[in-house]
Amino acid sequence: MSAKMTWHKIVILSALIAAPLFLANCGSDGSEHVATQTVGPTGPTSPSGYYFEVTASPHTIPVGGGVVLSVRVWDENGNAAGDAWGAWSITGVLSFDGASGLFITDTNGYSYFAYEFKDWSVTGTTYITVIIEDAVLQVPVTIIGPDQAAV
CA angle 78, 81, 85 (to 5 degrees): 140
Res 120: pLDDT = 62
Mean model confidence pLDDT for the chain: 78
Q: Determine whether 112 is exposed, middle or buried from the number of CB atoms within 10 Å of its CB (0-12, 13-18, 19+).
A: buried
pLDDT in tens, 44-100: 999 999 999 999 999 898 888 889 999 999 999 999 999 999 999 987 665 555 578
CATH of domain 7-144: 2.60.40.1930
Give the C-alpha distances (Å, rounded to integers) separating 33 from 24, 37, 61: 11, 13, 12
Give the contacts of 70 (CB within 8 A, at least 6 positions apart).
Answer: 54, 55, 57, 110, 111, 112
User: Other CB atoms closer than 10 Å to residue 104's CB: what's the count?
Assistant: 18
Given a cut of 50, whether residue 121 has pLDDT beyond it is: yes
Banded model confidence at residue 16, pLDDT cuts 50, 70, 90: very low
Q: Do 59 and 99 contact (CB within 8 A), yes or no?
A: no
Which of 1-10, 16-25, 105-114 has the lowest average pLDDT? Answer: 16-25
Mode of pairing for the β-strands spanning 135-144 and 124-132: antiparallel
